[in-house]
Amino acid sequence: MKLSNKFTFSRIIFAPIFFVLYFLPIWTGCGTKVSLLIAVPFLIFAEFTDYLDGHYARKHNEVSDFGKLFDPFADVVLHLTSFVCLMHSVKSGLSYMPVYFFVLIMLREFSQNFLRMVAAKQGTAIAARKGGKFKTVMYIVAEFYGIFLELLVRLNVVPECFNILQGCAFALFTICVILSYASFIDYLVHFGKILKDI
């Protein structure tokens, strides 16, 4: 496996590791303060590999049609996993991402991956566009903001303005949903003709 694809694959590996570390205190009631402190560095590195795979693909001339499919697939696995986590908290009834936002984003991502597969079948590899990249940046911002709020809860340092902070998380995820569909429409405009040929 090429180095760039190894970095991409690492995101798929780190996703379930983060998931287990995040939910361990919710399942067992143990390690409430420690588990997320361990999980966050894993997630930071996993997100950083999104830069590393592109960097080394260009540096070593490893850019390929497979990589153009594998990279966004790994992104979806990692981001949907973290979003599932953010619908839950060690504090019962607390959530940072509404379920309906998750469903909307999940449907968008699955539809986008389907479009990529159809395009690949027709001999066209759909690379990430600027709108898609900006959407991904917002995913990461919202993701880490939600994790920061959960960390405050687990460390028992919840400020009085926590409801306002939680409202900011809602606003960030609202932006994520809007950007996700805006970028999907952009892909459809540029590559939707592929669907007409099947």
pLDDT category at 122 given cuts 50, 70, 90 is confident
Give me the pLDDT at residue 121, please. Answer: 78
C-alpha to C-alpha distance for 127 and 112, rounded to whole angstroms? 12
At residue 54, φ and ψ (nearest 5 deg) are: -70, -40
Look at residue 76 and tell me whether its pLDDT is greater than 70: yes
Residue 66 — pLDDT band, cuts 50, 70, 90?
Answer: confident
Query: What does pTM read for this prediction?
Result: 0.91
pLDDT at residue number 120: 80
Convert the pLDDT of each residue in 163-182 to its tens digit: 999 999 999 999 999 999 99
For residue 170, which of 97, 69, 81 has the smallest C-alpha distance?
97
The answer, yes or no, to whether residue 148 has pLDDT greater than 80, is: yes
